[in-house]
Structure formats: C-alpha cells, structure tokens
A and B are shown apart, each in its own frame.
Chain A
C-alpha cells in the first residue's frame, strides 16, 4: 500500500538518482578526457614542433625533415618489409642475449651471495667490471669473435649480465632475515631455503635488474650492429645515413624508440601479471 505522497517522493528520488548518475558519468568522462590530455599533450606538442620547425625554415629541412616526411618514409619502409626485417634481426639478438644473461646471472648471483666471504672477495672485481663500459669491449669481441651473430649476442649478454647479477646479489642481501629464520624453523633444507624463500623474495629486485639490462641491451646492440652487420636496426641507421636517406634514418630511430617502449611495457606487464611487481610496490 502506497499513498500518492509516498509515490511522489519515491519517483522524485529516482529522478534525483538519475540526475546524480548522469552527473557522475559526465564527471567521469571529463576525468578521462583530462587524463588523456595530460598524457598526450607533451608528445603532441613535440610532433607539432618537429613538423613546424623545418617547414618554417628555422632548421634545415635536409638534416631535420618534418615529421610527416619521416612518417611517410617509415610507412614505406614498413610496407616494403625493410624495417620489419631489420627490427626482427635486432629483436632476435636482444631476446637471445637477454635470456642468456638472465639464465647465467641469476643462479650465479644467488651462489655468490650465499657466502658473505665469497661476495666480499669478488666485490672489487665486480665493481671494476660493472664500471667498464661494455662498448669498450666491442673491439676485443670483434677481434676474437668476428662480426657474426655470436659476437653481437655476446655483447648483449655481457651488457645485460651485470645489472642482473648485481641486482640479484643485492636482492638476496635485502631478504628479510626473519623469513629465512622462519623457513629454517620449519625445517627447510638449505636448497629449499634458497629456492622456496630466497629466490621468490628476491624476484622483484631481479626483475628490476632485467629492466635495467633491457636498456643496456639496446644501447650495446645498436652500437654493435653499427660496427659490422648485414641486418639490424643499428646497421640500417648507418646505411640510411651513408646513402643520405635522411627521412629513412629518422624513421629507423623512431622504430628503435618504439621497440624500446614496447619491450619495456611488455616486461612490466609480464611482471604485474606474474605478481612480481605488485607486492613490492604496495609495500
């Protein structure tokens, strides 16, 4: 039983609720637009400047072609398969190198940090290696291994190895001693302590190491490909420059930064999915 007055209040309330919902939706879309603007504004301005400066003659369009010319060249290179082929060559080397480096550095780092004495003994050597720019080894590696795939992958392994190794070591040192103690009290064997407690507790730090290694990987790979290669983005950049294909050269650079962004994003996404990053960040 409802009196007309009650019906009236009820319906007016629902009208109010609808109005509230509509208001909330409007606010929400404004928020989304604002967010979108916040993140696209700077890149948009950058592209605009890039486009305008050569067109207005402020910079030399021969050396700095406008963005639209570069985009055109990039599209052409993509369709003809030049860019994908070279990118593929680079990606293969990067992935192989990074994976090899991880597979070697993580167990080695765990082993080194298992003993304080060993890690103290090795630390001056590790510091020296870490502070030697990997590119300094490029002539050596070229000398010994030539200019084939092996030498390029070796360069990547070397460059990616150090951040992963050092992060693994510092990660193991940073493991909360009380969870190790808890594991010991549960009667876990030393091997199980390492695999079931130390390793998972160190994963977030190792993961950070891999992300650092990724940046190092591209840096070294491009340089190695410039020195001597028959494919790869580094090789292509050099060739384009030598042939005075300036827009093509810029397109290659753009492809490289895109590749970097993509791989870093992929890695981060994988980290979140595997729950490696999350618990660390919340902490």
Chain B
C-alpha cells in the first residue's frame, strides 16, 4: 500500500532549438494531488492535458521540472517493480508467449527462476487465460492481450498499479468485461490504482475518486468523490440517477476544453 503525493509539480518540455518560434511547452502546471494508499483513483481529461505525462512521472520514466512527487514519503528516483504500468497498446513482447511475457516481468523484478513459472501461471489463471498461456500475442485478441498485460503487471505484486488508458483500444463489450474484472481484482488485492482515461463513464464506474484534468496548461481542475463506489459490486451503478448527475457535472467541467477555442457554447 502506497500513497502518492504530488507537491506543486510542473513539467515543461523545452523547445527544440532548431525550430524557430517554438516556445517551451508547459505540460503540467502546479499539480498538487494526494493519492491515498489502496485507493482507486481515476484521472479523466481530454487528450493533451498531460495525464500520460503525469503517469510517466509516477512510473519514474520521467522527472518533474519543478516540484516533487513522494511515494510513501520518498521522492521517486526511477522505475521500480513496486510500481507497475499497464499501457493502452498492451506493450507485450511479440516474440514471447503469454506465459513468457509474464515471466519476463518477474525476471526483471528479480524473482528467482524456480518461482517464476508457477507465479506466472497463477496470474494468467487470475485473468482467465490459463488455456492461452502458450500463445504468442499475435494469436490473441485485443482483450486477451490486455489481460496478459494486466497479469504481467500484477504478477510482480506492485504496491501501485499505473494504468494508461488500458481499455481505450478495446470494443465496448470487452471493455466493460475488463472493467468488472479489474474491480474484482482490486477488491481482492486493494492495491493503489491510478487509472487514466478520457472516458467519463469509465472513470465514474471504476474510481473511488475522479480527478478532472484540463489542459493549457495541464492541471487538476477538480477532484470528485464517487459516492456510489462502494455499492458497485451489487448494483448496476451506471443506471443510478447520481451516476448521470455526476457524469453531467464532469462533462460540463471538461466541455470548454473539449471544443476548439472560439466555439460558441
């Protein structure tokens, strides 16, 4: 269990000197955010609002220009097995089978050889892919590939799971199935999950809290507590009136951003 604290984080990508007239680009401006240990936090925002950059910073793949990010009180020094990333494009090694892909992550995390096979199989079972362990990614559907990627991320038993629009490339039915599965897995493990999406419904359906990001520059506009998150397992919360009310509230917050400047609204 880990809590993640952003203290006025800024991220500026410097202008390329060769391109005249280009100015430094501020992706994130003064982001302060407190993600609690064991929480399911969704970040929702339009493309270009810096949400993927925010995730890169948490993963240790990039560093803030200004401000600090603390995990359990310690600043992030780089990638670590305690923080695992799931990418939208699955990011599986195409030459390895599903099983080998999971074992690869276990090896990278320093799990001894004799324990890898068993653990990889256990996590593939967890995502319902026992029968497909020996298939390579090109022999799996998009939904199955993302399950392998999730199994791979979970197998290293991270304290924080970082998910960058993981279901963005999937069809609606597969997406809903995987959303339920993810909730089930989270209820078992209670890891900290930071889930990035541009889909308001998805954010409301999954998150305990939803952070709304807007762009130019990217910052957190509002954080919403999702009141019905605890009832999710027994009721179809998508049908609740509160759900539509919240969806509308977020939509209004994002609306000026989603439309090109100057559009009447």
Q: Which residues of A line the B interface, CB within 8 A?
A: 176, 178-179, 181-188, 192, 196-197, 200-201, 203, 275, 279, 282-283
Contacts and interface: CB of A to CB of B under 8 A. Distances in A.
A187 B109 contact: yes
Interface string B101-132: 00011001100000000000000000000000
A27 B80 CA distance: 60
B91 interface: yes
B261 to A, nearest CB: 31
Contacts of B89: 176, 178
A181 B156 CA distance: 17
Contacts of A197: 93
A25 to B, nearest CB: 30
Interface residues of B, number: 25
Contact of B87 (A181, A275, A282, A283): A181
A220 B50 CA distance: 55
18 contacts: A178-B87, A179-B94, A182-B85, A183-B108, A186-B79, A186-B105, A186-B109, A187-B79, A187-B80, A187-B81, A196-B104, A200-B93, A200-B95, A201-B94, A201-B95, A203-B95, A282-B139, A283-B138
Contacts, number: 57
Contacts of A182: 85, 87, 91
A48 B206 CA distance: 73
Q: Which 10 A-B pairs have the closest CB atoms?
A: A182-B91, A186-B108, A185-B85, A187-B79, A178-B91, A178-B89, A282-B138, A185-B59, A185-B79, A200-B95
A74 to B, nearest CB: 42
A197 B92 CA distance: 11
B108 to A, nearest CB: 4
B236 to A, nearest CB: 34
A201 B92 CA distance: 11
Contacts of B87: 178, 181-182
B195 to A, nearest CB: 16
A186 B81 CA distance: 6
A278 to B, nearest CB: 9
Nearest to B87: A178
Contacts of A201: 93-95
